[in-house]
Amino acid sequence: MIEQSFLNKIIKNPYLITKLNFNQLILVFREAVKLFREETLILELKKEYSQDKVIVIGDLHGDLKSLTRLLDIINLENPKHVIFLGDIVDRGLYQLECFILVLALKVKDSNKYYLLRGNHETLKVNKNYGFFQDFLNRFKDPKKFSQVVAIYNALPYCALVNESILCLHGGIPEDFNAINRLRSIKTSEIDLNYENADKILLQIMWNDPKSNLKGFTESFRGRDIKFFGEDVFKDFMRENKLDYLIRAHERFPKGYKWFFNEQLLSIFSSANYRGTFTPIPASYAIIRNKTVIPKIIS
């Protein structure tokens, strides 16, 4: 059993995570994976009162400065739920620190904090974009990374807020019945390794919206990954009785971007994704009442 005092310490000062040894980290990994394995592929979250807020956070990519600022905002806003849309690691300076901090928040308050799987929550992508090497430089033994992969394989893919606002990392899948098919299935009941992933789950992590497009078209991102246009997006939303979709996965000069008559919001919560010389505003979203409001991290 992990001590609350230990969690409180690293949440209060996440830069201390840099100094933790692997035996300390494994306590966080083991507690977190037990919680994720009890969750379903589609989280169904309820706001009991109209004034309850939900904060949604996009890609972080090791940007600990943005994450700590977001925690200040969370403490101020006191939301009922906080949803991370994935892509916590790769590229940034504090990848492990961000990852452990998000897990510590989950372990400390599992009914408030939720983490979804993004396209960077895979071993293959981590080997290409930095997190695996960063981890190896710290702990030397590649076998220890299996603890991280166990977390990835237990993560949910979507969060449905009050049955009307869908949160995910990438985009809508070609199968419009996917949400209903995945409901009530625990993450521990399906093999979620990236190489063998079901096409639906792959597209939820990787697909992108595109203006002035009809239907689904091939994406530069890879096999079975698609761009989707407003027509199929509207059909998907109508079929699933949804009002809004919040996703991450792409950065924009403004920090966020509305698509499709302001029914799809794309956010990105890392300000230094391309380095400190090309900063962009970092964004997040607040769900208040039945509306979605984009915000810039000041």
Q: For 258-276, what is each residue's pLDDT tens digit? A: 999 999 999 999 996 665 5
Q: Could you tell me which of 281, 266, 265, 254 has the C-alpha nearest to residue 69?
A: 281
Q: For 90-112, what is each residue's pLDDT tens digit? A: 999 999 999 999 999 999 999 99
pTM here is 0.95
Looking at residue 298, its pLDDT comes to 84
- For tokens 């962009």, the residue is 280
Mean of pLDDT values over 132-152:
97
Q: Could you tell me which of 191, 190, 193, 224 has the C-alpha nearest to residue 207?
A: 224
Q: For 18-68, what is each residue's pLDDT tens digit? A: 999 999 999 999 999 999 999 999 999 988 777 899 999 999 999 999 999
Catalytic-labelled residue, pool 61, 120, 169, 249: 120
Is 120 in the active site?
yes
Looking at residue 280, its pLDDT comes to 86
What DSSP letter does each residue of the chain carry, written as one string?
---HHHHHHHHH-GGGGGG--HHHHHHHHHHHHHHHHTSBSEEEE--SSTT-EEEEE---TT-HHHHHHHHHHHHHH--SEEEE-S--SSSSTTHHHHHHHHHHHHHH-TTTEEE---TTSSHHHHHHHSHHHHHHHHH--GGGGHHHHHHHTT---EEEETTTEEEESS---S-TTHHHHHTT-BGGGS---GGG--HHHHHHHH-EE-TT--SEEE-TT-TT-EEE-HHHHHHHHHHTT-SEEEE-S---TTSEEEETTTTEEEE---S-TT-TTS----EEEEEETTEEEEEE--
- For tokens 């792959």, the residue is 202
Q: Could you tell me which of 42, 92, 124 has the C-alpha nearest to residue 273?
A: 92
Looking at residue 277, its pLDDT comes to 58
